[in-house]
Homo-oligomer: A and B are copies of this chain.
Amino acid sequence: MKVHLSYPPQPDDLAYLESLLEERISLTVGEIDQADPGTTILIAGRPSREELAALPELETLIVPWIGIPPGTLDLAREFPLLSLHNLHHNAAPTAEMAVALLLAAAKQIIPHDRALREGDWTLRYQKPAKTIFLAGKRALIVGYGEIGQRVGAALEGLGVEVSFIRRSMGDQDIPGVYPVSKLDSRLPEADFLVLALPLTAETEGLIREAQLRALPSSAVLVNVSRGAIIEESALYQALSEKWIFGAGLDVWFNYPGRESERSSTPPGEYDWGSLDNLVLSPHRGGHVRETERLRISALAALLNQAARGEPLDNPVDLDLGY
């Protein structure tokens, strides 16, 4: 079984991957145009139409992370026999980032750190104190996937009462899990709103002015999914005019394109860097020391399923986009 990996792992990570694979798997690594024409599984995030067309035996495309790039999704629709899969290996670190951002925003970690670095203790003596107590409060988590459920478990450990919004309700009623139609009515009771859902045509701009105005003025918003779930102008207004207490964002409205732009690309159209009630994080929720090992374990599990002739986990629904 011929598998081609289009991104070059570190040598020890590659050795680790090879150590996990079943013997019948023949793995090649390099640019996609170097793949063996007999390749049946391609691991690549953003292949081109030409690259896919040049691999006539290709059965499976694995995007080696969770959020499918829109171009890749469109392309997969053009190759209906191709089965598209993704990896969920960074769900746990992303959930941790959501909790870290929520706590950092609720406890105003950034302005307190900045002041004390300058020897300024005055925030300590604010009366009444302004920061948010979590225990006994209510979190609404939008998204009932692996990230959302992990965030929920962590918040419950902090004494927070957790409920969820879920797109597909399935047959059984789960207590505390509500359909998307209930989102707006639940916002006034959401002390914490955590976005952990895929970006799709349905979810783009899900959180707009009306939703942000419906939150309590002491609410904290966290987004670890995709920037476009929230309408940028409404969020900037909500934070700068204090409709809500604060926010922690790991995902943004604007990203660096070329490598040369990485050191000077504002994360959106507004002056996000000026907001004291915002915690900024450069879309790296899933990036931890262990990420490559987690990714490789998850990848090996899929490849070994294929080698054993089993159906592969994490199929991406081309209509839903995740």
Check A121 against B157 for contact (C-beta < 8 Å).
Answer: no
Collect the chain B residues with CB atoms within 8 Å of residue A30's CB.
none
Collect the chain B residues with CB atoms within 8 Å of residue A110's CB.
109-110, 113
**Residue-wise interface mask of A (110-143) relative to B, using a CB-CB cutoff of 8 A (1 in contact, 0 not):** 1011011111111111111111111100000000
- Offer 22 A-B interface pairs, CB within 8 angstroms, sorted by A: A92-B133, A96-B107, A96-B133, A96-B134, A100-B103, A103-B104, A104-B109, A109-B279, A110-B110, A112-B282, A116-B282, A117-B272, A118-B273, A120-B263, A121-B256, A124-B284, A125-B262, A129-B288, A131-B284, A133-B290, A155-B157, A157-B158
With A112-B282, A118-B273, A124-B283 as given contacts, are A133 and B289 in contact (CB-CB < 8 Å)? yes
**Residue-wise interface mask of A (147-176) relative to B, using a CB-CB cutoff of 8 A (1 in contact, 0 not):** 000100111111100000000000000000
- A264 interface contact, C-beta 8 A: yes
Collect the chain B residues with CB atoms within 8 Å of residue A297's CB.
none
Name A125's closest neighbour in chain B (CB-CB): B262
Q: Looking at chain A, what size class is its interface with the partner chain?
A: 35 or more
- A218 interface contact, C-beta 8 A: yes
With A122-B262, A287-B129 as given contacts, are A100 and B96 in contact (CB-CB < 8 Å)? no
Collect the chain B residues with CB atoms within 8 Å of residue A263's CB.
119-122
- A292 interface contact, C-beta 8 A: yes
Q: A245 → chain B, closest Cβ, in Å? A: 9
Collect the chain B residues with CB atoms within 8 Å of residue A222's CB.
none
Check B131 against A267 for contact (C-beta < 8 Å).
Answer: no
Collect the chain B residues with CB atoms within 8 Å of residue A272's CB.
117
- A19 interface contact, C-beta 8 A: no
- A211 interface contact, C-beta 8 A: no
* Copies, count: 2
Collect the chain B residues with CB atoms within 8 Å of residue A134's CB.
96
- A291 interface contact, C-beta 8 A: yes
**Residue-wise interface mask of A (259-274) relative to B, using a CB-CB cutoff of 8 A (1 in contact, 0 not):** 0001111110000111
With A109-B279, A109-B281, A124-B283 as given contacts, are A291 and B129 in contact (CB-CB < 8 Å)? yes
Check B158 against A99 for contact (C-beta < 8 Å).
Answer: yes
Chain A, 76-122, CB within 8 A of any chain B CB = 92-93, 96-97, 99-101, 103-104, 106-107, 109-110, 112-113, 115-122
Check B284 against A113 for contact (C-beta < 8 Å).
Answer: no
Collect the chain B residues with CB atoms within 8 Å of residue A306's CB.
none
Assembly CA distance A80 to B117 (angstroms): 43
Collect the chain B residues with CB atoms within 8 Å of residue A100's CB.
103-104, 106-107, 109
Q: A2 → chain B, closest Cβ, in Å? A: 27
- A280 interface contact, C-beta 8 A: yes
Name A267's closest neighbour in chain B (CB-CB): B116
Collect the chain B residues with CB atoms within 8 Å of residue A262's CB.
120-122, 124-125
Name A137's closest neighbour in chain B (CB-CB): B290
With A100-B106, A120-B263, A157-B154 as given contacts, are A128 and B279 in contact (CB-CB < 8 Å)? no
